[in-house]
Amino acid sequence: MNTPIWDDRDWRPLPTLVGPVRADVCVVGLGASGLAAIEELVDQGVAVVGVEGQAVGAGAAGRNGGFVLAGLAKFFNETVVQCGEAAAGAIYRQTAREIARQAQDMPAIVRQSGALRIAADAAELADCAQHLAALRYCGFPAAAYTGPEGEGLLLPEDGVTQPLHRVRAVAQRLRQRETRLYENSPARKLVAGAVVTDQGTVHCDSVIVAVDGRLERILPELAGRVRTARLQMLATAPAPEVQFSRPVYYRQGYEYWQQLPDRSIALGGFRDQAGDEEWTGDDAPTERVQGLLEKFLRQHLKVRAPVTHRWAASVGYTPDGLPILEEVRPKTWAVGGYNGTGNIAGVLGARAAARLVCGQGSEWAAALAGARAHAGRR
């Protein structure tokens, strides 16, 4: 079993690329980030082709926990220390704005429900206080929280999404605009002026590789700067015995869960409890982590409903916690390494890459550059 709860199988497959095609830009990867890059390019009148090794959203974009969170993977107080107040604030502001945009664009799929950060112990509760102080000092909404989930923070600008529905909806919108998108067309070789797949070739001026997990395999230049990890989840049948009105981040975000509209529970976590075993490109669930998830489900969440789904996804992590957005070869851009929070940062990064390919400026790229420059001076 390795099927996410998000997959309702209601999808008309895209064609496979066969033979040569020509485009100004080829985007590799049809997840949330790749599709965002394609939308930006189409809006600007650029001839674009998108290729995907499996199906739309088959990677982490359609297999994640369904959280939409402002900021980056590190909590805001940590980001301020690492990246400086100006860059941290710019990043947080843009991600919050993107959540609101997505919720307005697809209200049936993206909801600004708010989210909870719940402390697992006294030390984390103290860090929650620092997190709250940093957000308030910079003018962002947040509140201390005490409730049935525990103690911590309420982050009102965050929310949830049905991630696979969202990427499929974006792909369908592009399909209606006659955008050339191809599934089951893995990029086997990237050479100057071309992306070679199993049965075809995209001849192009520029390439955007918008892939999170296994990015370092496609672009070996990034080995050591991005590393693939496996994130595991499970889901249950409807669980009326519990009620979680908001998604929850727990134990520094290592565990996370939400209750879906039908009352089922989607729960992920315990990557850190399996050591090097989870630093892998293998996206099959394991007995060890799945056992820890189920124990937490029963003992901590008090859920009695049966487990119906178990799955895993490959996700890219960077040593400094900052996502990759750069030209790694002439006219070849890489976007990835979202450190487990790609639903928003990935979209912004890919949209920025599309603008940079077109020779335009990007507010997101400038904020990341400022963050890296400040981190480098520490």
Clarify whether residues 326 and 300 are in a common domain: no
Digit-coded pLDDT (tens) for 18-68: 999 999 999 999 999 999 999 999 999 999 999 999 999 999 999 999 999
Q: Which residues of the chain have pLDDT under 50?
A: none
DSSP class of residue 263 equals S
How big is the CA angle at 66 (ends 146 and 345), to the nearest 5 degrees? 100
Q: Do 182 and 18 meet the contact criterion of CB atoms below 8 Å apart?
A: no
Token pair for 306: 């049966």
Clarify whether residues 214 and 345 are in a common domain: yes
Clarify whether residues 58 and 172 are in a common domain: yes
Clarify whether residues 300 and 327 are in a common domain: no
pLDDT the model gives residue 378: 64
Classify residue 192 by burial, with Cβ atoms within 10 Å: 0-12, 13-18, 19+: exposed
Whether residue 108 lies inside any domain: the answer is no
pLDDT the model gives residue 310: 98
Helix/strand/coil for 115:
strand
Q: Do 50 and 319 meet the contact criterion of CB atoms below 8 Å apart?
A: no
pLDDT the model gives residue 247: 98
Which of 156, 186, 212 terminates a domain? The answer is 156
Clarify whether residues 138 and 278 are in a common domain: no
Backbone angles phi, psi at 282, to 5 degrees: -75, 125
Whether residue 148 lies inside any domain: the answer is yes
- Give how far the C-alpha of residue 184 lies from the chain's centroid of Cα atoms, to the nearest Å: 21
**Looking at residue 23, which CATH number applies to its domain?**
3.50.50.60
Which of 317, 336, 355 terminates a domain? The answer is 317
Clarify whether residues 46 and 173 are in a common domain: yes
Clarify whether residues 310 and 352 are in a common domain: no
Q: Which residues of 60-75 are buried (b: 16+ CB within 10 A; e: fewer)?
A: bbbbbbbbbbbbbbbb
> What domain range is 278 assigned to?
228-317
Helix/strand/coil for 88:
helix
Those residues whose C-beta lies under 8 Å from the C-beta of residue 189, and which sit 6 or more positions away, are 195, 196
- Does this model's pTM top 0.85? My answer is yes
From residue 110, how far is each of 66, 90, 372 by CA, in Å?
Answer: 9, 23, 30
Whether residue 13 lies inside any domain: the answer is no
Clarify whether residues 233 and 343 are in a common domain: no
Query: How far is 60 from 233, CA to CA, in rounded Å?
Result: 12
Query: How far is 1 from 4, CA to CA, in rounded Å?
Result: 9
Whether residue 94 lies inside any domain: the answer is no
Backbone angles phi, psi at 281, to 5 degrees: -90, 0
Whether residue 214 lies inside any domain: the answer is yes
Clarify whether residues 235 and 310 are in a common domain: yes
Q: How many domains does the chain have?
A: 3
Whether residue 98 lies inside any domain: the answer is no
Total residue length of the chain: 378
Clarify whether residues 221 and 326 are in a common domain: yes
Backbone angles phi, psi at 154, to 5 degrees: -105, 125
Taking the CA atoms of the chain, what radius of gyration do you get in angstroms? 20
Clarify whether residues 235 and 312 are in a common domain: yes
Whether residue 309 lies inside any domain: the answer is yes
Clarify whether residues 265 and 152 are in a common domain: no
Whether residue 136 lies inside any domain: the answer is yes
pLDDT the model gives residue 41: 98
Classify residue 320 by burial, with Cβ atoms within 10 Å: 0-12, 13-18, 19+: middle
**Residue whose pair of structure tokens reads 């890219």 in the numeric block:** 316
Query: How far is 376 from 361, CA to CA, in rounded Å?
Result: 23
Q: Would you say the C-alpha torsion 173, 174, 177, 182 has a positive or negative sign?
A: negative
> From the CB of residue 317, how many other CB atoms can be counted at a distance below 10 Å?
18
Query: How far is 330 from 318, CA to CA, in rounded Å?
Result: 22
- Give how far the C-alpha of residue 128 lies from the chain's centroid of Cα atoms, to the nearest Å: 23
